[in-house]
């Protein structure tokens, strides 16, 4: 029992490390070769975890081999467009200049219902509003609406919005993000003054953020008494 527990932890750490080294893609954004490697890693990891008679190295070595394969294929993808096309395929235009390409739809084994579903996920409710729809190699659908159906931008009205930059988290659940404080050139004393404006100490803050314009957002952590009152209110809904 203890042996199985320890083996599970070791395999978990190895798999976590390998998946971390493979990059930050979401499952839906994986290329076919990445998805295949991920499935194989899951299968290889399960064997030494459940079967004590199998040496743990029988799982770790193949997993590391798959990691090497992934890194090599990724390099080939970057270096060679032909290799990238062979391994990942090419994007397919399903809607061209507002017209559905039936041949491409059948070739990709994509039904009209699936096309409509993908369009709805892109906030397009009417196929007639689409100029181009491109099925990416990851399976995602990129949609370009017709010019008269596209959302307006400040540029359309010759407006130049103020630069906001990114938001920096300065406090998360009462913990001060010291690295982010350094990035904006501030210190703890400054942060304490800012939270005092909201009548709380840094330790009482759930989240405190600031952007390049200096706009801040601050919310206090709920204490047990507040949570109890909230729970009672929720029960009356």
| DSSP letters for 179-214 | HHHHHTT--HHHHHHHHHTTT--GGGEEEEEE-TT-
- Higher pLDDT: 23 or 66? It is 66
pLDDT exceeds cutoff 90 at 222: no
pLDDT exceeds cutoff 90 at 82: no
pLDDT at site 225: 58
- Higher pLDDT: 26 or 110? It is 110
Element (H, E) at 106: helix 102-107
Q: Are 84 and 98 in contact (CB under 8 A)?
A: no
pLDDT at site 131: 94
d(CA 82, CA 128): 35
Lowest mean pLDDT among 73-77, 94-98, 100-104: 73-77
Q: What is the mean pLDDT of residues 136-145?
A: 87
Q: Are 104 and 94 in contact (CB under 8 A)?
A: yes
Any residues with CB less than 8 A from the CB of 117 and at least 6 apart, and which?
A: none
**92-149 and 168-223 in the same fold:** yes
pLDDT exceeds cutoff 90 at 158: no
Q: What is the mean pLDDT of residues 108-122?
A: 91
Question: What is the rounded end-to-end Cα distance, in angstroms, of the chain?
Answer: 47
SS3 151: coil
pLDDT at site 132: 95
pLDDT bin (cut points 50, 70, 90) of residue 218 is very high
Helix axes 57-79, 2-21, angle to 10 degrees: 10
Q: What is the mean pLDDT of residues 179-201?
A: 94
Q: What is the mean pLDDT of residues 151-173?
A: 83
User: Strand (E) positions, the chain?
Assistant: 92-96, 99-100, 130-135, 141-145, 168-172, 175-176, 205-210, 216-220
pLDDT bin (cut points 50, 70, 90) of residue 29 is low
Any residues with CB less than 8 A from the CB of 119 and at least 6 apart, and which?
A: 125, 127, 130, 133, 141, 143
Task: Indicate the average pLDDT of the chain.
Answer: 83
Q: Which fold has domain 92-149?
A: CRO Repressor (3.30.240)
pLDDT at site 64: 86
pLDDT exceeds cutoff 80 at 234: no
pLDDT at site 78: 80
Share of the chain above pLDDT 90, in %: 38
For residue 31, the number of C-alpha atoms closer than 13 Å in the C-beta half-sphere is 16
pLDDT at site 92: 92
Q: What is the mean pLDDT of residues 102-129?
A: 91
pTM of model > 0.75: no
pLDDT at site 142: 92
CATH number attached to the domain at 168-223: 3.30.240.20
Per-domain residue ranges for the chain? Answer: 2-86, 92-149, 168-223
pLDDT at site 181: 94
């Amino acid at each position: 029992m203890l042996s199985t527990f320890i083996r599970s932890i070791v395999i978990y750490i190895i798999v976590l490390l390998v998946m971390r080294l493979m990059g930050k893609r979401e499952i839906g954004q994986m290329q076919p070769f990445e998805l295949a490697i991920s499935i194989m890693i899951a299968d290889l990891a399960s064997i030494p975890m459940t079967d004590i008679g199998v040496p743990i190295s029988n799982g770790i070595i193949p997993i590391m081999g798959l990691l090497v394969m992934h890194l090599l294929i990724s390099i080939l993808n970057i270096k060679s467009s032909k290799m990238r096309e062979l391994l990942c395929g090419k994007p397919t235009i399903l809607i061209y200049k507002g017209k559905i390409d039936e041949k491409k739809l059948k070739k990709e084994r994509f039904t009209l219902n699936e096309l409509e579903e993908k369009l709805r996920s892109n906030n397009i409710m009417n196929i007639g509003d689409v100029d181009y729809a491109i099925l990416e190699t990851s399976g995602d659908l990129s949609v370009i609406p017709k010019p008269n159906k596209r959302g307006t931008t400040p540029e359309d009205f010759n407006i130049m919005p103020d630069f906001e930059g990114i938001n920096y988290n300065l406090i998360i659940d009462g913990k001060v993000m010291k690295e982010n404080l350094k990035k904006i050139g501030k210190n703890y004393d400054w942060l304490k003054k800012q939270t005092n404006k909201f009548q709380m100490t840094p330790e009482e803050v759930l989240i405190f953020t600031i952007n390049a314009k200096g706009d801040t957002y601050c919310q206090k952590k709920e204490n047990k008494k507040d949570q109890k009152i909230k729970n009672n209110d929720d029960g009356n809904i």
